Amino acid sequence: MTEPTWNPSLRAVATGSPLVHCLTNIVVAGFTANVLLALGASPAMVENAEEAGPFARVAGAVLVNLGTLSGEREAAMRAAAVGAHSAARPWVLDPVAVGALEHRTILAHELLNHRPAIIRGNASEIASLAGVSGAAGRGVDSRVGSAAAVGPAQELARASGAVVAVSGAVDYVTDGQRVLEIPGGDILMTRVTGVGCALGAVMAAILAVVPDPLQAAQDASAILKEAGSRAALPPLPGPGTYAVRLLDSLGTLAREASS
């Protein structure tokens, strides 16, 4: 029996236990940490202006998620992006709600100058960041399907030099040339907060140990999709249980990869 394609990435994370420096939002910080721990990575949330830069320079990889901004968190994000870039640490940008809100759209464009390795968002966010007018979603929701953002994602990848990942019922990952499709998962992944945000964190974790951003983005998507499918197996009492099972399934996938 052939093993899943993502197993080498999972093994590398479990073995390397990379330090993943997360600048993320107050809604999903705990869930994100638990997702990373389930895979054997080592999450650390450092989001003050004084420490984010130096910490990014020693982390395995960095996640910058724009969910709940504040003046200080923005300063920390800039410092982390600069620090990561200058120390050649890969970092992931999750442009939450970009397009829907002007302030963070400007911030996201500024952060692009510091060369994220991966940009992960939903279709609205990616299309907005790519400059498609009228693509703005509302908050964290996308108004368009992920397939519609594949073209914009390719443009954004070419313009930014980053791999771009579009999340949806089907995930797409592109380096501007190749477009990889990751189906699977379950609609319930949208009924639990933080799954998309956690996906960005998993991309960062893999990126810390697998140098190829396209591979890292693809494997992270496939891992989350697989865990999301397993967690949905009936009987399922509801979304509370689903969130718990998602973490359990990630732990199982990590164990299966290493056994």
Which of 10, 12, 13, 28 touches a second copy (CB under 8 A)?
Answer: 28
Which of 49, 82, 179, 232 touches a second copy (CB under 8 A)?
Answer: 49
Which of 6, 31, 91, 172 touches a second copy (CB under 8 A)?
Answer: 31
Choose among 156, 245, 143, 132: nearest CA to 195. 245
Least distance CB 123 / a second copy (angstroms): 15
Least distance CB 71 / a second copy (angstroms): 6
- Residue (27 or 180) nearer to a second copy, CB: 27
Least distance CB 29 / a second copy (angstroms): 4
Print the SS3 string covering the chain: CCCCCCHHHHHHHHHHCCEEEEECCCCCHHHHHHHHHHCCCEEECCCCHHHHHHHHHHCCEEEEECCCCCHHHHHHHHHHHHHHHHCCCCEEEECCCECCEHHHHHHHHHHHCCCCCEEEEEHHHHHHHCCCCCCCCECCECCCCHHHHHHHHHHHHHHHCCEEEEECCCEEEECCCCEEEECCCCHHHHCCCCHHHHHHHHHHHHHCCCCCHHHHHHHHHHHHHHHHHHHCCCCCCCHHHHHHHHHHHHHHHHHHHHC
- Tokens at 158, concatenated: 């070419």
- Residue (217 or 231) nearer to a second copy, CB: 231
Q: Is 21 in the site for a second copy (CB under 8 A)?
A: yes
Instruction: Specify the stretch interacting with a second copy by CB under 8 A; choose among 51-59, 84-92, 127-135, 179-187.
Output: 51-59
Instruction: Specify the stretch interacting with a second copy by CB under 8 A; choose among 31-39, 121-129, 177-185, 216-224.
Output: 31-39
Query: Interface residues for a second copy in 212-251 (CB under 8 A)?
Result: 237-241, 243-251
Whether 202 contacts 220, CB under 8 Å: yes
Which of 8, 14, 27, 158 touches a second copy (CB under 8 A)?
Answer: 27
Q: Is 68 in the site for a second copy (CB under 8 A)?
A: yes
Q: Is 110 in the site for a second copy (CB under 8 A)?
A: no
Which of 131, 134, 139, 211 touches a second copy (CB under 8 A)?
Answer: 139
Which of 9, 34, 218, 221 touches a second copy (CB under 8 A)?
Answer: 34
d(CA 50, CA 152): 35
Binding residues for a second copy (CB under 8 A) = 19, 21, 25-31, 33-34, 37-38, 42-51, 54-55, 58, 67-73, 97, 100-104, 138-141, 190-194, 237-241, 243-252
